Amino acid sequence: DPTCYGNMLPPIEASEAVNEAFAKPTSHGYLPSCGMEEAREAIAKLWSRNGHVLDTKDIILTSGCSHALEMCINGVADPGDNILIPQPGFSVYITLCESLHIEPRYYKLKPEQNWELDLDDLETAINSKTKAVLVNNPSNPCGAVYSAEHLKQIIDICEKHRLIIIADEIYADMVFPGNEFHFMGVLSQKVPILSCGGLAKRYICPGWRIGWIAMHDRMNILKESIQPGLLDLSSRILGPNSVMQAALPKIVANTPQKYFDNIISQIQNNAEISYKVLSTAPGLKPIMPQGAMYMLV
């Protein structure tokens, strides 16, 4: 948690937006379970890139990114099915799958190639019960940032096997200079992408519990069943925190780029110091991260 010791703080503009929202009586009532229109519109605009434009109807707000992931896994697979997840990977993927009686099957990452997916191992792991591949980029816990070419290779495999991609993109744009982040939904022409994100990491506010699912579905594959199913699942908790939803449009509109640049500079500096020190330790082989907040040794 980067915030609990005061090492990093949310942007002042975000705190001001929350205070303003809290003062409005309209911020304290029930909202549509998929999220208030203005907040969904703000996220659609924020995550539209390179001519690929998201609509408000493509966005479902959630109680943090983990909730978004849980909804996606629940929405695409039934008990007895399986989801492919990275190894090493964020441990909550296993928890979410197993709590829904869905098998987590693993594909390996290659440390010698900056933690890229082992594409042969990925394809070998697919069977008749596989419903989706979960891809985390930038990566927790590896700190990897995948190239557009590598992401397209993953998309091609999923197209071949007719699989949905669940993209954990909570660290979107949190990359060190010299690296570039690419949304899988922008790169994919045919494969449906359920992209999961939130404010927690980039805005340094994990306790605020506001996340989202962005549905990239150029071929309308999700329209008949998955999209309505996700909307139904959103009604289980009647939507995320109403105050945070009310503040969301101003948070994403008013936070200056300088804030993000300073956060990345601090994280990169920490990573470089850690890498330098750990590299001198006998028996340890750290791999310099390219983004996110982590380094795997």
Question: Rounded distance, CA 28 to CA 196, Å?
Answer: 25
pLDDT, mean of residues 280-290: 97
Higher-pLDDT residue of 2, 87: 87
- In total, the chain counts a number of residues equal to 297
> Residue for token digits 């909730």?
67
Check pLDDT > 90 for residue 5: no
pLDDT, mean of residues 59-69: 99
Check pLDDT > 80 for residue 168: yes
Give the architecture-level CATH label for domain 12-253: 3-Layer(aba) Sandwich (3.40)
Secondary structure class of 42 (helix, strand, coil): helix
The 8-class DSSP code of residue 295 comes to -
Q: Which are the contacts of 14, defined by CB distance < 8 A and separation ≥ 6?
A: 199, 203, 205, 247, 251, 254, 255
Tokens of 199: 């404010």
Single-letter amino acid code for the residue at 109: L
Question: Rounded distance, CA 205 to CA 199, Å?
Answer: 7
The mean pLDDT value of the chain amounts to: 97
Check pLDDT > 80 for residue 198: yes
Secondary structure class of 277 (helix, strand, coil): helix
Question: Rounded distance, CA 264 to CA 260, Å?
Answer: 6
Q: What is the pLDDT of residue 260?
A: 98
Contact between 93 and 104 under an 8 Å Cβ cutoff? The reply is yes
Question: Rounded distance, CA 43 to CA 39, Å?
Answer: 6
Q: What is the pLDDT of residue 79?
A: 98
Check pLDDT > 80 for residue 269: yes
Give residue limits of the domains in the chain: 12-253
pLDDT (tens digit, 9 = 90+) per residue, 95-136? 999 999 999 999 999 999 999 999 999 999 999 999 999 999
**Residue 122's closest CA among 83, 95, 175, 94?**
83
Check pLDDT > 80 for residue 1: no
Check pLDDT > 90 for residue 143: yes
Q: Which are the contacts of 213, defined by CB distance < 8 A and separation ≥ 6?
A: 59, 60, 62, 68, 71, 72, 194, 195, 196, 230
Q: Given CA atoms 103, 293, 184, 111 in this order, what sign does their dihedral have?
A: negative
38 — pLDDT class (breaks 50, 70, 90): very high
Question: Rounded distance, CA 220 to CA 72, Å?
Answer: 17
Angle at 195 between CA 222 and CA 157, to 5 degrees: 70
**Residue 222's closest CA among 190, 268, 257?**
190
